Amino acid sequence: MIMKPLNLFLGIAFACAAFGCSANSPKSDAAAAAADTVANRSEAVITTIMERRSIRKYKPQPVNRDTMQMILKCGINAPNGMNKQSWEVRVVDNPEFIDGITAIYKKYNPEAAADASFKNMFRNAPTVVFIANDPSYDCSQIDCGLLGGNMILAAQSMGIGSCCLGGPARFMRTPEAAEYLKKLEFSKGYELLYCIAFGYPDEAPEAKPRNEAKVRFIE
C-alpha cells in the first residue's frame, strides 16, 4: 500500500520525460515570447543600420507620398535639445522644381552636364528633402542631423534609398539659386543646412570600410 503513491509519482515523471511535459507557467512562456520579440526587433534595427548605403543611382519614379509621410514622421520624432524641434523640412517631388534648379546648376557647373548619366543635381533622385536649421540655437545642427538619421534609417527599412547632399545645399544658398530657395518658404531666421535625396535604388553598392580604431573605451 505504501508503494502505490511512489509508483504513481514515478509513472507521472516518466510520462513527462517521454512526452515532453513542461513545468513552465503561462507567465514564463509569455516572458520567453516577449524576450524573443525584443531580440527580433533588435536584430531588425541592427540589420537596417548595417545594410544602409548611400545611393547615387535611382529609378525615375518618386517615392509614394504615404511612404514619405511615414519617413518624415520618423524624422520629427528624433531626439532634439529641450524639444525645441529646431528644424524646418520641405519635401520636393515636383519635376518642374527639380529640373528648373538643375538647369541653373548646369549653367554654372557645365562639367556636370558632360556626364551622360546626369539628370539632376540631386544625384538624379526623384524626391528631395530640404532641411533648415535655426542658427540662433547652438545645438540646432545636431538636432537636424538626428532628424535626418531617423529619416534615412526609416527609408532603408522600407526599401527606399537615400543620400545626404551638401553640395546641392551650398548651391541653393548662392545668389544664382535664390529664386528656388525662396520657393521653399523657410521661416525667417532659418537657414538651409543640407538635403537628402530619396528614391527607389537602382544600384546596390558595397559597404565602404570603417575605421574602428577611432573608437575606444577610456578606462
pLDDT tens digits for range 58-97: 999 999 999 999 999 999 999 999 999 999 999 999 999 9
Residue 186 sits in a domain whose CATH number is 3.40.109.10
> Residue 28 domain-assigned?
no
How do residues 200-214 score in pLDDT, each as one tens digit?
999 999 999 999 999
- For the cut 60, the answer to whether the pLDDT of residue 11 exceeds it is no
133, exposed or middle or buried, with CB in 10 Å at 0-12, 13-18, 19+?
A: buried
> Residue 3 domain-assigned?
no
Cβ atoms of 192 and 184 within 8 Å: the answer is yes
**DSSP letter for each residue of 144-183:** HHHHHHHHHHHHHHTT-EEEEESHHHHHHTSGGGHHHHHH
Q: Is the dihedral of CA 72, 87, 139, 172 positive or negative?
A: positive
> Residue 58 domain-assigned?
no
Instruction: Of 32-46, 51-65, 137-151, give the lowest mean pLDDT range.
Output: 32-46
Please state, for a pLDDT cut of 70, what percent of the chain lies above it: 85
User: How far does Cα 148 stand from its chain's mean position?
Assistant: 7
> Residue 30 domain-assigned?
no
The number of folded domains in the chain is 1
Contacts of 70 (CB under 8 A, 6+ apart): 154, 158
* Average pLDDT estimate for 102-130: 94
| Run of H or E including 193 | strand 191-199
> Residue 209 domain-assigned?
no
List the domain range (segments joined by +) for residue 136: 65-199
> Residue 72 domain-assigned?
yes
CA distance 88 to 75: 11
> Residue 121 domain-assigned?
yes
> Residue 101 domain-assigned?
yes
